[in-house]
Structure 1
Amino acid sequence: MRIVFAGTPEFASLALQAILAAGHEVPLVFTQPDRPSGRGLKLTPSAVKQTALAADIPVMQPRSLRLDGKYPDDAATARQALLDAAPDLMVVAAYGLILPKWVLELPVHGCFNIHASLLPRWRGAAPIQRAIEAGDPETGITIMQMDEGLDTGDMLLKQALPITAEHTAASLHDELAAMGAQAVLEAISRCRQGKLVRQPQPAEGVTYASKLEKSEAALDFSQPAAVLARRVRAFNPAPGATVQLPGLNDPVKVWAAQAVAQPAARPPGDLVSASPQGIDIAAADGVLRLLELQKAGGKRQSVAAFVQGWRP
């Protein structure tokens, strides 16, 4: 098929690579404008742009696709490029721009979205992190026929993946990215064969995965230890979970922690003990044991290495 692709981060790049490897023609790619990155704040192309350029595919980076919006010239140029590309289908994955009606209707088969949750649960910006934070037993990939709503379109294909106690947002992201790349190939194949079945999303079970904020990083020890341990995994690597330890001026980033089912006998937030095996902090119903940490401006360390240079 002739497919225009729209996406930005590594999650989307894997899908673009899979589409190209499967032999589909990709005449045009849309991605976000280059962003400052690193200590030097050098403008850096997105993962999708890098993949597209390596494959000699033209790249468009409009600031908006709304013809009546803030950047109408960007949108008009993008519209002409999309018309010239004459796509059978548009595949979208973590693009970062809202697609107006004219985009949704231009491809012959419309726009497919690769969404990292089992819709209708976790519509929105951060489905991977929110699923871990909430303690969901599973998540997955939904290939959706896009409409003008926020992740409200008909479901075309769903694949589930169990969430384990070892999953962080980073590791779950990588598994879902690989799953999404294969799932969209299956959806494209069914589309070519005329075998796609559209299933409207049920009204029951809708939840929204709000964008992660830096203000969420600080752990609230009035919550149960199991909830705090999930937040550490959900916010790894970003925005990171933080804790204020005695004797240190700045919060410490927590990379790994586990809930310990034992009475803390101390008010929530108090230091219970510190050893090479873990730093225990009282929570609402037990103890959160910190296992891997990073001081502000320092390197990521095991708790055994961390306690050598820290005295509460």
Structure 2
Amino acid sequence: MRIVFAGTPEFAVPCLRAAAQRNEVVAVYTQPDRPAGRGRGLQSSPVKREALARGLPVLQPESLKTALSRDALRALKPDLLVVVAYGLILPRAILDIPRLGCWNVHASLLPRWRGAAPIQRAIEAGDAETGVCLMQMDAGLDTGAVLLSQRLAIGADETGGQLHDRLATLGAQTLADGLGLLRAGMRPVPQTQPDAGATYARKLDKAEARLDWTQPAEVLARKVRALNPWPMADALLAGERVRVHEAGAIERVRDAAPGVVLGAGRDGIDVACGRGALRIRVLQRDGGRAISAADFVNARGTGFVDAG
């Protein structure tokens, strides 16, 4: 086969490796280099770095909506376009070019959590499981027929970053299974997604990182896990803004208004919530590194009055 791969972030790298195992990838699409870091220098995507290391041609168009973009893809004579977290919209004219269409690896059990942030939204919602779907792309947003899927239980303390890594591996395995069937002449049978159960996983935003103490503790604990490592939940403790790396819900030991610090010691910093309390175990001060709650308490003392 002649496979063209389109992807950008670290999540897509294992899938690129799976697609390239038999030297079938003829080109790799990824987003243009972007300014990053303190120096704001141009930085290439993880997929671009992997492609270049493999000696694969890399294309980085700003858009796929132009005739020039269509001509460039058509010139590659692709049998299949594999798309994994690419980040650009594929118009119908692009979807129609590959002989076998376009496949997408999506990190959820569709139709649940269509959209940009399915991993984090699954944790935030308290889902017990998630998974990966290999999908035949259509013009909709993650609405195409599912070719293959695999399920995965979400760990009780699993963070967004940890689940991301496990799903990236599972996604590569699922893609490899689909390609194996295709090579054997047994093209996976498309299963139309049901309308029932469809949900949308909106893109992560730094503005949602602030913890609202009026919410139940279990909701905040899931939020802390979901937003780790980015954008990371943040809160105010005794007037100081901190980033919360690790926390868990506990029973409230006494009545107190949401935001009041109930206790601070070796086990953590307990903050009253709308229901229950949140025990902060690992946190980060501005400009500092992540430290245990015990180290934070030792540095600040135990005289907290409230958490904002």
Cα distance in 2 for residues equivalent to 1:283 and 1:289: 10
Does structure 1 residue 48 correspond to structure 2 residue 47? yes
Relative to structure 1, the CA distance from residue 53 to residue 77 in structure 2 (aligned partners, 3 Å threshold; closer, same or farther) is farther
User: Amino acid of the residue matched to residue 265 of structure 2?
Assistant: S
Q: What's the counterpart of residue 16 of structure 1?
A: 16
Which of 68, 77, 91 aligns to 1:77? It is 68
Question: Deviations 1:194-232 (Å, cap 9, x if unpaired)?
Answer: 341110000100000011111111111111111110000
Does structure 1 residue 98 correspond to structure 2 residue 97? no
Contact 1:263-1:285 within 8 A present in 2 as well: no
The alignment covers a number of residue pairs equal to 301
Cα distance in 2 for residues equivalent to 1:103 and 1:55: 25
Question: Deviations 1:79-118 (Å, cap 9, x if unpaired)?
Answer: 2221121111010000000000111110011000000000
Structure 2: segments with no counterpart, 5+ residues = none
- Name the SS for the 2:26 alignment partner: coil
> Kindly, what percent of the aligned residue pairs are identical?
54
- Name the SS for the 1:121 alignment partner: coil
- Name the SS for the 2:131 alignment partner: strand
Question: Deviations 1:117-160 (Å, cap 9, x if unpaired)?
Answer: 00000000100000000000000000000000000000000100
Cα distance in 2 for residues equivalent to 1:169 and 1:59: 29
Measure how far apart 1:309 and its partner are: 1.1
Cα distance in 1 for residues equivalent to 2:136 and 2:224: 33
Q: What's the counterpart of residue 73 of structure 1?
A: none
Question: Deviations 1:174-212 (Å, cap 9, x if unpaired)?
Answer: 000000011011111222323411100001000000111
Cα distance in 1 for residues equivalent to 2:247 and 2:23: 44
Cα distance in 2 for residues equivalent to 1:278 and 1:290: 5
1:1-312 matches, within 5 Å, as: 1-21=1-21, 23-67=22-66, 76-192=67-183, 193-248=185-240, 251-311=241-301, 312=304
Contact 2:63-2:69 within 8 A present in 1 as well: no
Cα distance in 1 for residues equivalent to 2:140 and 2:130: 21
TM-score (norm 2): 0.95
- Name the SS for the 2:300 alignment partner: coil
- Name the SS for the 1:11 alignment partner: helix
Question: Deviations 1:286-309 (Å, cap 9, x if unpaired)?
Answer: 110000000111111111111111
More divergent stretch after superposition (227-236 vs 24-33): 24-33
Cα distance in 1 for residues equivalent to 2:82 and 2:205: 28
Cα distance in 1 for residues equivalent to 2:34 and 2:295: 35
Cα distance in 1 for residues equivalent to 2:300 and 2:104: 48
Cα distance in 2 for residues equivalent to 1:200 and 1:190: 19
- Name the SS for the 2:218 alignment partner: helix
More divergent stretch after superposition (237-246 vs 127-136): 237-246
Question: Deviations 1:219-256 (Å, cap 9, x if unpaired)?
Answer: 111111111100000000111111101142xx200000
Cα distance in 2 for residues equivalent to 1:254 and 1:32: 31
Measure how far apart 1:263 and its partner are: 4.0
User: Amino acid of the residue matched to residue 82 of structure 1?
Assistant: L
Contact 2:253-2:262 within 8 A present in 1 as well: no
Structure 1: segments with no counterpart, 5+ residues = 68-75
Cα distance in 1 for residues equivalent to 2:86 and 2:243: 29
Cα distance in 2 for residues equivalent to 1:103 and 1:187: 21
Measure how far apart 1:276 and its partner are: 1.9
Cα distance in 1 for residues equivalent to 2:55 and 2:239: 55
